[in-house]
Amino acid sequence: AVRVVREAALFPHSREALQRLSPRATQKESTAKGGRGTGYRLQMLVKLAAAILVETPFYVTLDSDVLLTRRTRFSDLVVDGRGVYQHDPGNQHGNWWDASKQVLRTTDGCPRQLEGGVTPAVLSTQVSRELLAHIERLHKGRAWDAALFEQLEGGADWTEYTL
């Protein structure tokens, strides 16, 4: 079944509040990273926030330029209790992983040879929920969405999948 949910139902803060948190970060992104800005980050947060509403152990995220071309079964997406992922063989996005370590305040990270790519992705509902709670704890109870947007100001180019 498909359920459409307003974006506002997913985030502790409104789109406008998050935009107010990001102007200087957005300017930096515009200069250094192609002008992706607030909307780019919000679509990442939607993928994480979906875990709040999902009632299954795993969920699949897609971007608008991705579609299924064949029938897909649970066993195609989850193997031995873990969601499958796309490997990023070129390790093209090391900066995303480094930024996520900064946001999560850790030196531990994913070994470069195991780094995943981008959409489509199979996310664990439990892990995604725990991630959002962990971000709030790390950032002194600040709501996870605002905490992530605030990290952009310091240059942390995180993504939904590297977190």
What is the overall mean pLDDT for the chain?
Answer: 83
Tens digits of residue pLDDT in 81-140? 998 877 666 566 677 778 888 888 888 766 655 556 677 889 999 999 999 999 999 999
Identity of residue 41: R
Residue-level pLDDT at 105: 84
Question: Does the global pTM surpass 0.75?
Answer: yes
Three-state secondary structure string covering the chain: CCCCCCHHHCCCCCHHHHHHHCHHHHHHHHHHCCCCHHHHHHHHHHHHHHHHHCCCCEEEECCCCCCCCCCCCHHHHEECCEECCCECCCCCCHHHHHHHHHHHCCCCCCCHHHCECCCCEEEEHHHHHHHHHHHHHHCCCCCHHHHHHHHHHCCCCCCCCCC
Percentage of residues in the chain having pLDDT higher than 70: 81
Predicted confidence (pLDDT) at residue 65 exceeds the cutoff of 80: yes
As beta bridge partners, residue 87 has: 116
Helices (H), 54-93: 74-77
Residue-level pLDDT at 129: 98
Q: Which distant-in-sequence residues (6+ apart) come within 8 Å of 76 by Cβ? A: 84
What is the mean predicted confidence (pLDDT) over 22-27? 57
